[in-house]
A and B are shown apart, each in its own frame.
Chain A
Amino acid sequence: MQKITEKHLAEKAKDLLSQGKVSAVLGWRRGEFDYDVTPALFTDADEIENGLVYNCFCGANLSKYLVSKIRAVEGRMLVFLKPCDTYSINQLFTEHRVDREKVYIVGIPCNGMADITKIRNAVGEGITGVSGDECLRVETLYSDEPAELCLADVMSERCVNCKSKKHVAYDELLGDEGEVLDSHRFDEVERIERMSPDERFAFWQRELSRCIRCNACRDACPACTCEVCVFNNPASGVESKAPVNEFEEKMFHIIRAFHVAGRCTDCGECSRVCPQNIPLHLLNRKLIKDMNECYGEYQAGEAVGGVSPLTDYTAEDGEPGDLIRRRDTDA
């Protein structure tokens, strides 16, 4: 199997630009350090040569940027998407938020993305360099010898529990096609389900009371595509700039989880961007798991079009109440 590196991405981007097949390229730009990669739009070959990066810090899901960026570009926009990102773009196509004809998707392989917080916890402050892919060499200011870390040990939670290495949307692929994986992504949800109501309340109170209302979860979420959110509309009366009590944030996060239910592909951006490391994805996963159990297995973004469990009705649909009773009886 050919190993795909950022050089292949750069060649592909320059190639498609020079052929005029695309007029802009959405990828990731190198930062000050090895890990502070920023999503970026490239329009010329030199910029791509010098700036485009693809490493284990390219966690940002680029699909949502298409909603706004594509308008600024004449012609098609190339976007590099990892397998999990392609579920998001399919969902955006389904919801008519992005015009399929204006996008040229290059699917790229992903071995899992690193979580810099986990690396920092392992090696301490002062990270001056991170290189390698499956085995990371981390240089720090406070040690003469670089630390060696396995990517698997410092991977983001969403990658540890990767649901799919398969690209469900692309115009072309770099590397081989992967497969849908048998992940353990619902294990943590099950653990929380087994808690007593008091324990569960305490768990979420502890997590959500750290929320600082920065809205990064909402702004990064590819399913949250309203260009002006109701919470940014002073006329809505629900601007909610200050909590009534320290746990009021639960309302925001629970409502948001319901709002994206059936559309959330479980890409995990909400938890990646949270400055307080709140495991927000667990709320979404709980709803996905419940929908699977009530209405049959469903993966949002697996295909374009169709109806989701919450926009469809069949006589066989389970009742959420029955589900809870069944679970209680089993327990």
Chain B
Amino acid sequence: MRKCLYKDIHKIFARVAEKMPLYIPAKTGDEKAEYKKWSEGDELFEGLNTVKSPKDLFFPQSEDLVRFKTEGKNIEITDVREDKGPFAVFGVRACDAKSFEVLDRVFLTEPRDSYYASRRENATVVTLACSRPSETCFCKTFGIDAGEPGGDVSAWIAGDDIVFSANTEKGSAFLDIIGELTEECSCDAVDREKEKIAVIMERLPLSDLTTDGFGGGKTEDLFNRAEWAELSEACLGCGTCTFVCPTCQCYDIKDFKSGNGVVRYRCWDSCMYSEFTKMAHGNNRLTQKERFRQRFMHKLVYYPENNDGLYSCVGCGRCLKSCPVSMNIVKVMKKLGGKKND
């Protein structure tokens, strides 16, 4: 493990940024934050979560995939992706780090998504333990430990220091980059910090939330439950929950006619929208109740069914904070969990 004074963190950022682009959660005004490429003067957001998760760095909200140009009978196809090379992202919370695993299972299983894969391979993920989780946090429900954030390098703020520990080869390379600015240290301070975090995790108001009643094989139990009507009745059908969610991974691919050929792009889509996955025969989810149900069934039943029991929620609490009508996965789980279809 290596440490430096937390107040000198900007020196670490500057050193890393000499080697590769570095992304950090930075304040965007009004106490909100987002991941942005660090440049001198940018300050680390000291709050808990960015509005949007860092999934943007691997699966951007929109990206051009390929360009087509026709001249007579010839079609010219251009691969428009820019390989940006290695980059680092600092300050990823345990929940968000886990979300990359959820996304990996979608994008890295065959057929492998080469756009996503290249960014994942190029990234060094430096995580940061949560000293002050929010009342909206429930990562523990999904077996995540906010004190063991994972990634390529784990970091803890312990007293006046920030302590780094490499978990992978990429992580060791990262520690080499910041080597001169840090010094070797023991685990004691980190262990004390982890204990503190463990105590807080138990005190969180949602610490007793369980996944009982959900998981693979629960479709029959849950699909026709009457409670979906009440749960979904206030849903506005906006895309806030899906766009702030670190694990939502649905996208649309569309063609943009530029007047000088066609640009094929991919963009996030939301199962909350009425035109989502609309097909020639029309739409198979006609009301907001069905769209709402789809989102939660996907996270709590269909995804774990197809992914060895892994849930596609990491308990980051973003939807709890952002939903305009305060309807969210916790309310769904509390209402439907642990009961049989009647």
Residues of A within 8 A of B (CB): 31-33, 35-41, 60, 65, 69, 117, 120-121, 124-128, 141-142, 206, 210, 212-216, 218-220, 228, 232-234, 239, 241-244, 272-273, 275-277
Residues of B within 8 A of A (CB): 28-32, 34, 47-48, 51-52, 61-62, 132-135, 200, 203-206, 230, 233-234, 236-240, 242-244, 252, 254, 256, 265, 267-270, 273-275, 278, 320, 322, 324-328, 330-331, 334
Q: Which residues of A contact B132 (CB under 8 A)?
A: 124-126, 142
The B contact surface, by secondary structure, is loop
The A contact surface, by secondary structure, is loop
Point out which of A33, A40, A242 has the most chain B C-beta atoms below 10 A from its C-beta. Answer: A242
Residue ID in chain B nearest A236 by CB atoms: B275
Residue ID in chain A nearest B34 by CB atoms: A210
How many residue pairs link A and B with beta carbons under 8 A? The number is 129
A35 to B206, CA, bound (A): 15
Q: Is the CB of B324 within 8 A of A241?
A: no
Residue ID in chain A nearest B270 by CB atoms: A214
Q: Is the CB of A212 within 8 A of B243?
A: yes
A273 to B241, CA, bound (A): 12
8 A-B pairs besides A220-B238, A241-B269 with CB distance below 8 A are A39-B233, A41-B233, A213-B239, A216-B236, A232-B273, A242-B267, A275-B243, A277-B32
Residue ID in chain B nearest A117 by CB atoms: B31
Q: Which residues of B contact A60 (CB under 8 A)?
A: 324-325
User: Shortest Cβ distance from A1 into chain B, in angstroms?
Assistant: 30
Given contacts A126-B133, A242-B254, contact A216 B238 (CB under 8 A): yes
Q: Is the CB of B62 within 8 A of A120?
A: no
Q: Which residues of A contact B133 (CB under 8 A)?
A: 125-126
Residue ID in chain A nearest B241 by CB atoms: A214
Pick 24 A–B contacts, CB within 8 A, sort by A: A31-B326, A32-B320, A33-B135, A38-B326, A40-B233, A41-B233, A69-B233, A117-B30, A125-B48, A141-B204, A210-B32, A212-B244, A215-B273, A216-B239, A219-B237, A219-B238, A232-B274, A242-B62, A242-B254, A242-B265, A242-B267, A275-B240, A275-B322, A276-B28
A128 to B62, CA, bound (A): 37
Q: Is the CB of B135 within 8 A of A126?
A: yes
Q: Is the CB of A36 within 8 A of B269?
A: no
Q: Which residues of B contact A210 (CB under 8 A)?
A: 28, 32, 34
Given contacts A36-B326, A125-B132, A210-B28, contact A216 B240 (CB under 8 A): yes
